[in-house]
Structure 1
Amino acid sequence: MGNAAKRTSRVQITEGDFSTEPGRFKTLHTKLYEAIMQENCPIIETLLRSHPVNEPMTVWVKSTCNKLLLEQTQSIFPIHLAARYRKVQSLLCLLEYGADPEIRDSRGHTTLHVMLLHWPITTANWTEPVNRIQRILTDIQNHAEMCLHVLCQHGARVNARVDNDFGYSPLHLAIRYGTHPVLSILAGNGAHVNATNGSSMTPLHMAAGMLNKEMTETLLACGADVNCAVSHSGNTALKLAVCAASTKAGRLLAADISSISLLLKKGAEANAQDHEGRTAIHEACLGGREAIINLLLEFEADINILTRHGETPIFMFLQRRSNLRETALFNKLLNLSYPLRITNNEGILPTGLLLPEFQPQKESLVGLSQKPLTLQEICSKIIRKVYGEKHKQYLRQALPLKIWNSVYSDYDFSQLWKSNT
């Protein structure tokens, strides 16, 4: 069964709901409907002599609404019906008799769009099916892929957009509804992997924003531009992935960050700035997830980079009350910061520090930011800024141990950070 039943609210339509009108003689439309569903090609060929192949059929739909069984008519093109329910032989028969795969329904969907909207949810993690359920699910998936290949081979436009404000291409639809097997098939048949939708987002932006490593990996393998930015915001796939993983829900659920690691390994620019000057590490510090911050630092993210309003990543970290309790992480960020800025360009302090309960912390940080550093401290911070964490072990081999220790031995700011929580 396709995704339609899952996404429909109130009115649920399931496979087999299209049926003949009870108590009436089977009309041409209902006969054609049954022939398509049964993949009876000889009957389909006979009926197409009387019914134009590109004219819609009127069929009866059974649905439930507020626990009441309702029946109503619905119009659907024969080729859309075959694609929706993955009827391979019927699809081939209709195409051979001149069915137009580009014909659109009232919502602006082509046959390819219809198929993707009703792609089966059959997450399979087995190599070979070993029981009846697995065999059924595997067959459903295989039929869907066969139908997709048939459409592509018969000239379906793999870059045709849906006629609505979202402007999704087939690749965008595949990402939107989690149909991973579709991506490589579409890309292999000429789908533009860097096409943008109505919001100027590429499929990679969408996959990264969903933290879907599998789809992200497939798109990158198919040539997706890892550093492409959304035109109206400047967001890259990396920044969108970090934002998604750094939300409150992302923290509570310990959202998987493997897609972030993948993007960085594939060349994502860690210090790419959006139109407001914010980078991935600004978002990571705002979210307060140490694993993401460490990962970005490993790929040379600049902990001192400023937004257009003069906000450092530490400024973002101090915006949230929950972050102020993470003293160990903040101690690490302080040791990497030079110069220490805890206000923005207008001299405004982070929201978290303005809370009465954190008055001691505010006084300590204001004093620390105004305190001049020693020459040794300045040199240590500059070396760490230039070489970062990535080349830490290289410097250990190149420098005398005493000097290396003076550079990479973090100062303990806990004496200044008098927590009252």
Structure 2
Amino acid sequence: MAEETFPFASSTLRSLRLQREWLEWEDRRRAAAQQGRNRRCPPSSRARLTRPRHSCRDPVVHSALFSGDLQQVQALFQDEDTANMIVETVSNQLAWSAEQGFWVLTPKTKQTVPLTIAAARGYTDCARHLIQQGAELDARVGGRTALHEACAQAQSDCVRLLLTFGAKANVLSEEGTTPLHLCTAPESLQCAKLLLEAGAIVNFVARDSENTPLHVVAARGLEEHVALYLAHGANVGSRTSQGETALNAACAGAEGPGSGRQHQAVARRLLEAGADARAAGRKRHTPLHNACANGCGALAELLLRHGACVDVPNAAGHTPMDCALQAVQEAPNWKPEVLFAALLDYGAQPVHPEMLKHCANFPRALEVLLNAYPCVPSCDTWVEAVLPELWQEHEAFYSSALRMVNQPRKLQHLARLAVRAQLGSHCRQAAARLPLPQLLRDYLLLRVEGRIQ
């Protein structure tokens, strides 16, 4: 048809003829190779196409696939070519225009294949039909395979279907991650179990980030996933390209006290499995730095009980206490006095008086920090930072702190500091064993009283 329509040069016609002959030879070679394989083992449903894939933007095709209309899918996809066509979708996304100086809607084309669409949406019957028509199980059009997308969307039935038909449990995406790396939702636990049963490598390292699946689920606070991976031999000491362990990831992922409980459970699992509470990344940021930066007092105490260093600085020179002081400003809706008391009980040095301004509007936290000094230091750095309405509400505390600036404290307080200094970093554990009345034990551990005496 081309020869009759366009005036091709003789060299072009010869090139086209040679290309056609090569394609025919390649088809014969592949058919012979497949025939040889069939003699040794049953035919594989993963045989690759020998011709380029066709692209499709037909709304009818899109509607059938994205709605999971099985009858339409059966009518539209009746052979290997259609089952492996490239489906293109165009969506408008906001993008910054440097020339215009504002955000504009920009069309973006995405490519995928029918099987990936069906598997990602849990359309098991549609996926089965596409596979039976010859859909390539491990096709990576658009960057991920159908198994990747099914795991990312926690579609366990589709994961089981794909694995049953022979999808590779360790197939890589273009980013160098396995399907197990994409089991990131609580609902994906069954997907992870199916992958591991099918031979997924639990310690597989992603290409660029060098994350393992354990890093991924630890960062998201998925305790059941962590327990599953540990039971299958996950390495708690594996490090990312930034030198982070799974314990680092868990503590960094606890974004605020609200999510700290889940990540605390994950951290406990990791520590019980032998994770090092002192392990620091390339920036010398330890799990304790991360827990303090996120304002997670209970998580910080868990790390301290397992040997975390309370005064070690990171690459920027910040100690965990410095990170906790910064967290007061960034996440105000929590109880920083719990974290400060834990750090001081495990041997943290009193903060520099200049840093008291960071918690001036948290009277309970300020009281804990002031009680770590033999006498109240100058208050010039923090008094001006106190909000007027807060001062009025807690006038008894703030006034008592002002009165005691550079004044001798009670002998009882000095005795408390002497005992704490003797106990050092074992103050909290030792106080629990001392035969003391509960009130005296609380006083030793810097219980908040509402005034400075």
For this structure pair, what is the TM-score category when the shorter chain's length is used for normalisation? 0.5 to 0.7
- Residues 222 and 350 (structure 1 numbering): CA distance in 2 closer, same or farther, change over 3 Å? farther
Instruction: Measure how far apart 1:209 and its partner are.
Output: 1.6
CA drift of 1:182 comes to 0.6
Counterpart CA distance in 2 for 1:369 and 1:189 is 64
Deviation of 1:80 after TM superposition, in Å, equals 4.0
CA shift, 1:269, in A, is 1.8
| Residue 306 (structure 2) pairs with residue 306 (structure 1) | no
Find the counterpart in structure 2 of residue 297 from structure 1: 304
Q: Residue 110 in 1 paired to residue 117 in 2?
A: no
Aligned counterparts, 1:80-119, within 5 A: 80=116, 83-84=119-120, 86=122, 91=127, 95=131, 98-105=134-141, 107-119=142-154
TM-aligned CA deviation for residue 412 of structure 1: 6.4
Mapped partners of 1:357, 1:94: distance in 2:
61
Change (3 A) 1:184 1:392: farther
Query: How do 1:61-76 and structure 2 match up within 5 A?
Result: none
2:172: which partner in 1? 161
Match of 2:398 in 1: none
Gaps of 5+ in 2: 1-57, 94-108, 378-413
Tell me how far 1:88 sits from its aligned partner: 5.1
TM-score where L is the length of structure 1 = 0.59
Residue 242 (structure 1) aligns with: 251
1:381 paired to 2:436: no
Instruction: State the match for 1:284 in structure 2.
Output: 291
1:114-134 residue CA offsets vs partner (Å, 9 max, x unmatched): 4335544xxxxxxxxxxxxxx
Give the corresponding residue for 2:241: 231
Matched residue SS, 1:226: coil
Q: In structure 1, what residue type is equivalent to 2:148?
A: H
Pairing partner for 2:231 from 221, 226, 230: 221
CA distance change for structure 1 residues 258 and 37 in 2, over 3 Å: closer, same or farther?
A: same
Distance 2:232 2:115 in 1: 29
Counterpart selection for 1:152 from 157, 163, 166: 163
3-state secondary structure, aligned to 1:179: helix
Tell me how far apart the structure 2 counterparts of residues 20 and 374 of structure 1 sit (CA, whole Å).
75
Describe the shift of the 1:263–1:19 C-alpha distance in structure 2 as closer, same or farther (beyond 3 A). same
Alpha-carbon separation, structure 1, partners of 2:127 and 2:334: 60
Aligned to 1:171: 180
1:56 to 85, 93, 104: 85
Report the Cα offset of residue 329 of structure 1.
5.2
Quote the RMSD (CA, aligned, Å): 5.3
Whole-angstrom distance in 1 between the partners of 2:322 and 2:255: 16
Q: Aligned pair in 2 of structure 1 residues 281, 349: CA closer, same or farther (>3 Å)? A: farther
2:222 maps to a residue whose letter is N
Counterpart contact for 2:324–2:339, Cα < 8 Å: no
Mapped to 2, the partners of 1:237 and 1:91 lie a distance apart of 35
Whole-angstrom CA distance in 2 between matches of 1:114 and 1:225: 25
**Aligned residue type for 1:56:** M
Residue 39 of structure 1, CA deviation: 10
Larger Rg: 2
Q: Deviations over 1:85-131 (max 9, x none)?
A: 656566556545643212232x12223234335544xxxxxxxxxxx
Counterpart amino acid of residue 259 in structure 1: V
Letter in 1 for 2:254: A
The TM-score with structure 2 as length reference comes to: 0.56
Change (3 A) 1:410 1:380: farther
Letter in 2 for 1:236: T
What is the match of residue 37 of structure 1?
Answer: 70
Would you say the 8 A contact 2:118–2:124 is kept in 1? yes
> Structure 2 CA distance, aligned partners of 1:284 and 1:315?
12
**Alpha-carbon contact 2:219-2:250 (below 8 Å) kept:** yes
Structure 1 306/183 Cα, relative in aligned 2: closer, same or farther at 3 Å? Answer: same
Q: 1:35 to 1:210 in 2, by over 3 A?
A: closer
1:351-402 C-alpha deviation (Å, 9 max, x unpaired) = 745979999998886777999x9997654226x27xx73x887x76xxxx69
Are the equivalent residues in 2 in contact too, given 1:353–1:361 (CA < 8 A)? no
2: CA distance between counterparts of 1:207 and 1:255?
Answer: 11
The 1:195–1:334 alpha-carbon spacing in structure 2 relative to 1, beyond 3 Å, is same
Contact 2:251 2:290 (8 Å CA) reproduced = yes
Partners of 1:182 and 1:83 lie apart in 2 by: 12
The aligned residue for residue 343 of structure 2 is 333
Change in Cα spacing, 1:108 to 1:231, as seen in structure 2 (3 Å) is: closer
Rounded to whole Å, the distance in 1 between the matches of 2:263 and 2:225 is: 14
Residues 52/190 of structure 1: CA separation in 2 closer, same or farther (3 Å cut): same
CA distance in 2, matches of 1:181, 1:279: 32
- 1:260 aligned residue: 267
Equivalent runs, 1:192-203 vs 2, <5 Å: 192-197=201-206, 198-203=208-213
Amino acid aligned to 2:170: N
Residues 86, 114 of structure 2: 8 Å contact kept: yes
Report % sequence identity.
23
Change in CA separation of 1:351 and 1:248 when aligned onto 2, cut-off 3 Å: farther
- Aligned positions, number: 338
What secondary structure, in the 3-state scheme, does the structure 2 residue paired with 1:258 have?
A: helix
Look up the match of 1:275.
Answer: 282
Higher relative helix content: 2
